[in-house]
Every structure is written in structure tokens, then in C-alpha cells.
Amino acid sequence: MAGELKVTLVRSTIGVIPKQKKTIEALGLGKINSVKVHKDNGAVRGMLHKVSHLVKVEEI
């Protein structure tokens, strides 16, 4: 875990539980197909695990 992760929101947050919506917002994602690059660490990995059904993750 030393690189970066490119996170893309691929599904809508309509209908998901509020905790998952807040996680998506905390990752810096808003609209569908929005992209954000994060450092690869345990906190970000945990957040991505909780919303894995909504995002696509690529290692850079």
C-alpha cells in the first residue's frame, strides 16, 4: 500500500443508506462518473470496502 487509488463513482447513491452516502461524500465524489485520486492507506481502503458496490477502483 504505497501508491494511489483512482476512485470513480459508477452507481447512483439514490436509495442507499445514509451512512454510505456520507462515505461517498467523504471520498470527494458527487455525481456519477466523478473521479478522485486518493493515497492508498487503510482508512481509504476501509471506506472503499463499505461502498464497493457503488465505485470502481483502479491502482495507479
Task: Give the pairing type, strands 4-9 and 55-59.
Answer: antiparallel
Q: Residue 17 has what pLDDT?
A: 97
Q: Residue 1 has what pLDDT?
A: 55
The whole-angstrom separation of Cα 9 and Cα 26 is 13
Count of the separate structural domains present in the chain: 1
The whole-angstrom separation of Cα 5 and Cα 18 is 24
CATH number for the domain that contains residue 41? 3.30.1390.20
Range(s) of the domain holding residue 37: 4-59
Q: Residue 2 has what pLDDT?
A: 66
pTM of the full predicted structure? 0.90
Mean pLDDT by 10 residues, the chain (60 residues): 89 96 96 96 96 96
